[in-house]
Amino acid sequence: MAKKATLTKSQVKEGVIENLRTAYRKTIATASNAQIYNAVAMTIKDAVLDNWITTYDHYEKAKVKTVYYLSMEFLMGRFMGNAILNLALEETVQEALDELGIDVNLAEESEPDPGLGNGGLGRLAACFLDSLSTMGYPAYGCGIRYHYGIFEQHIENGYQVEKPDNWLQHGDPWSVRREEFAREIKFGGRVISVKNDDGTYHFDLEDYHSVMAVPYDYPVVGYKTKTVNTLRLWDAEPVNRFDLQSFNQGQYERATQEQNLARNLSSVLYPADDHVSGKELRLRQQYFFISATIQRAIEQFEGRHGRCFDKLSDYMQFQLNDTHPTLAVAELMRVLLDVYYLEWDDAWEITRATCAYTNHTIMSEALEKWPVEIFSRLLPRIYMIVEEINRRFCVNLVEWYGNDPERIRKMAICADGQVRMAHLAIVGGHSVNGVAAIHTEILKDIELRDFYEIYPEKFNSKTNGITPRRWIAKCNPGLSKLVTKTLGKDDWISDLGQLAKLKPHADDAGFQESFMKVKHDNKVALSNYFRSEYGIGVDPDSIFDIQVKRLHEYKRQLLCIFHVIDMYNTIKTNPGMDVRPRTYMFSAKAAASYHRAKLIIKLINAVAEVVNNDPTIDGRLKVLFLPNYRVSLAEKLVPAADVSEQISTAGKEASGTGNMKFMLNGAVTIGTLDGANVEMLEEVGDENMFIFGMTAEQVHSLTVSGNYSPWNLYNMDFNIRNVLTTLINGTLDRNHDLFRELYDAMLNGYNGARPDEYYVLQDFAAYKKAQEAVDAAYKDPKRWAKMAIMNTACAGKFSSDRTIKEYADEIWKMKPVKIK
Ligand code: 26Q
């Protein structure tokens, strides 16, 4: 239901002028772009404040059940455009800024894009927050206010170079600092026992060091509703800023130590999402935001309900975004035991009913484990609690299975000198979910099989989704208008299943033309952006074939670039070949320490250099590597894509969410039967998707058999041989053996790894065939238009509104709350 705008045009104009005056002593004529952006942002935030306050007054009065989405990452993207859309203020703001002579686009483009996440997991958290507010579920997102987000990627001489991302440099107009909720977080020290009045004991710490956690609250505005939830990001500050005494007493050394500790804690996001290195600072970050969140949540509960902690899980749920927040299990135990003196068994029952865990990865390198030596030194009381949880769990295992040391070693929470966070999350919560159907099946059958055997009732599947607000309404206004015009109303934006009503139009020539016109306009807009941003021209009539995501071997950017090399070789030997011109676009950040991923970036750039400058190619192939992939760049690429590349080795991509964004915007997917691709195929049908390659089962058996021999493919397949030879024959780099490592990794295995671990060569022929089918389909404009329309029409399932409703109904047992 559309709600009256909370701001009028003249209020916007006055607000902007007044904010420029008071914050910067400037006028529009003299203000910088950043200052103008800030002034507009502050004006919009002001308009949100009343509903934000009303929402919390209502939550407090009605004592509503609340979900806490705990995550080390929230990849929010820019706030302003999204807030304007959700407040239904687009026209008002546009007109107001027009009249002030301010370019809205320029103002929006001046907003930094906060990169407080690595990729899928962080962006999922942001989509979930949007859906929670839109549907009216009381919710907090809780995380860390990193001062530096994921690095800014520059490409120099074809190589990735990392630069710091100082997103707070020009201020932070969306946050409210809530000093009144600051809490002390304790590290290190020794555990002591303290006698209670009734003769029992509880535990405490002495000789610890500590930092203050100070929350910054960001509004999460629901789409056309009054609900405004909160993203609460904790920042670290030295205790002595709050407690001048310790400083005055002359403890200078300790004071500076704690200052440094605080500075480091919320300084920077760990830019790795592939493998886990047991860095102490990462564990500190985890405990920092978890302890602050749990302390505050329990206080809020006590304020509303007193000490009736047996009802805790009826009023709050903690959803753990992967294992990174798993310390919540132990911290909640600590607070219940040491602060409120509950008995172990009671505290344990409450904790298990309150926590729930989402698994996002199948890759065993990414499973979080902490050396006992680090864990017990940094968090001595928490370690004690984890040990006790483990001891009791192992006692249960012996009851269930008899004395089976091998099983206990495999399943224990603490074993081989390590604390296994996934095991703690499974044992310490009431729900374990995967993020797509196939992913959950793999967890149950293989990865977490032992746990599924003892706790089958905990396991469930929640297929990921994306918010239609940012990922079509905001990023693709042309398509949104067409959909609204065709369906008669715009309520599909918060009820995405309605897109199915486009299906009857898929064959309609007039609708096809309008749909493809929107796509073409978006391609022209993207080409213009490339020209102004990078000074490169691309042909908007070529096929826009896009692979954007983190750089990982399992995601197989190599497969795509090998195919480009193959096309290049083929055109070189058949210069008259008739293919539709294609523009391949890649964008991907590699973890700074992931050598192989960085080499693949260099390879893509080397191929681009050769292909784009070869006159025999004559525009039939173009390769772009777009630097610094981020949310705001995705918003420009997704609406302009014809072909979406989702080609991970089957069984490796838990879900994927980029795949859904492209589908929603009318791109056709070429992909493997992996992650959510499987469910996209169910929705759209195989006539509208190009599926190729091995299934997850085939990958698994081939791996287990040990029979994979890439040399056989090399010997039998001329194209593969030619591609591999191109890596080492000087075509791509004149003087060096730059890419020999990739050649060796494919054929022989490099540094002890299996050859071609991700089956790039095994799937190559099937991929090539699928790409030929893409080419043939594109040559038939009516067929292509129908496919594109069907992709949009069948994307309804992949709204994060659907996902969140499933979490609320099945895991959190929560109902939406209407704010009046
Ligand atoms: C852990 C410990 C130390 C340092 C870093 C990390 C770390 C950080 C981020 C480990 C993993 C991640 C991110 C994982 C991730 O993004 N997974 C993706 O989650 C998406 C949302 O569910 C899925 O769609 C993707 O398939 C999955 O790869």
> Which of 270, 273, 447 gets mutated to test ligand 1 (max ligand atoms within 8 A of its CB)?
273
pLDDT mean across residues, the chain: 96
Going by C-alpha positions, the residue among 360, 109, 90 that lies closest to residue 223 is 90
Give the whole-angstrom CA distance, residue 130 versus residue 473.
13
Give the whole-angstrom CA distance, residue 715 versus residue 747.
11
Mean pLDDT of 265-273: 86
Give the number of C-alpha atoms closer than 13 A to the C-alpha of residue 277, restricted to the C-beta side: 8
* pLDDT score of 428: 98
Instruction: Inform me whether the pLDDT recorded for 4 exceeds 50.
Output: no
Chain centroid to CA 416: how far?
A: 32
273 Cβ inside 6 Å of ligand 1:
yes
Spatial CB neighbours of 488, under 8 Å, sequence gap ≥ 6: none
Residues pairing with 691 in the sheet: 671
Mean pLDDT of 16-36: 97
119 Cβ inside 6 Å of ligand 1:
yes
Instruction: Inform me whether the pLDDT recorded for 5 exceeds 50.
Output: no
Q: Which two tokens stand for residue 103?
A: 């370019």
657 Cβ inside 6 Å of ligand 1:
yes
Give the whole-angstrom CA distance, residue 655 versus residue 673.
11
Query: How many angstroms does the Cα of residue 323 sit away from the middle of ligand 1?
Result: 10
Instruction: Inform me whether the pLDDT recorded for 577 exceeds 80.
Output: yes
* pLDDT score of 246: 57
Instruction: Inform me whether the pLDDT recorded for 104 exceeds 60.
Output: yes
283 Cβ inside 6 Å of ligand 1:
no
Phi-psi domain of 77 (left: phi exceeds 0; alpha: psi -120 through 50; beta: other): left
* pLDDT score of 257: 75
Query: How many angstroms does the Cα of residue 324 sit away from the middle of ligand 1?
Result: 10
Per-residue model confidence as pLDDT tens digits over 629-675: 999 999 999 999 999 999 999 999 999 999 999 999 999 999 999 99
Going by C-alpha positions, the residue among 356, 450, 335 that lies closest to residue 397 is 450
> Which of 73, 121, 553 gets mutated to test ligand 1 (max ligand atoms within 8 A of its CB)?
121
Which atom of ligand 1 lies nearest, measured to the CA of 282?
3
Residues pairing with 587 in the sheet: 548
Per-residue model confidence as pLDDT tens digits over 475-528: 999 999 999 999 999 999 999 999 999 999 999 999 999 999 999 999 999 999
Chain centroid to CA 747: how far?
A: 33
116 Cβ inside 6 Å of ligand 1:
no
Per-residue model confidence as pLDDT tens digits over 363-397: 777 789 999 999 999 999 999 999 999 999 999 99
* pLDDT score of 249: 58
- What is the β-pairing status of strands 209-221 and 228-238? antiparallel
CB 149 within 8 A of CB 167: yes
* pLDDT score of 27: 97
Which atom of ligand 1 lies nearest, measured to the CA of 323?
1
b/e map 494-508, b = 16+ CB within 10 Å = bebebbeebeebbeb
Query: How many angstroms does the Cα of residue 550 sit away from the middle of ligand 1?
Result: 10
286 Cβ inside 6 Å of ligand 1:
no
Match 């590290």 to its residue by tokens: 187
CB 320 within 8 A of CB 357: yes
* pLDDT level of residue 263 (50, 70, 90 thresholds): confident
* pLDDT level of residue 1 (50, 70, 90 thresholds): very low
Q: Which amino acids are annotated catalytic?
A: 360, 549-550, 555, 657, 661
* pLDDT score of 387: 98
> Which of 151, 322, 363, 421 gets mutated to test ligand 1 (max ligand atoms within 8 A of its CB)?
322
Please give the model's pTM, rounded to 2 decimal places.
0.97
Shortest-distance Cα residue to atom 19 of ligand 1? 121
CB 65 within 8 A of CB 316: yes
Give the whole-angstrom CA distance, residue 623 versus residue 260.
45
353 Cβ inside 6 Å of ligand 1:
no
269 Cβ inside 6 Å of ligand 1:
no
Give the whole-angstrom CA distance, residue 548 versus residue 324.
25
Give the whole-angstrom CA distance, residue 718 versus residue 726.
12
Mean pLDDT is lowest, of 56-70, 234-248, 493-507, 800-814, for: 234-248
* pLDDT score of 419: 97
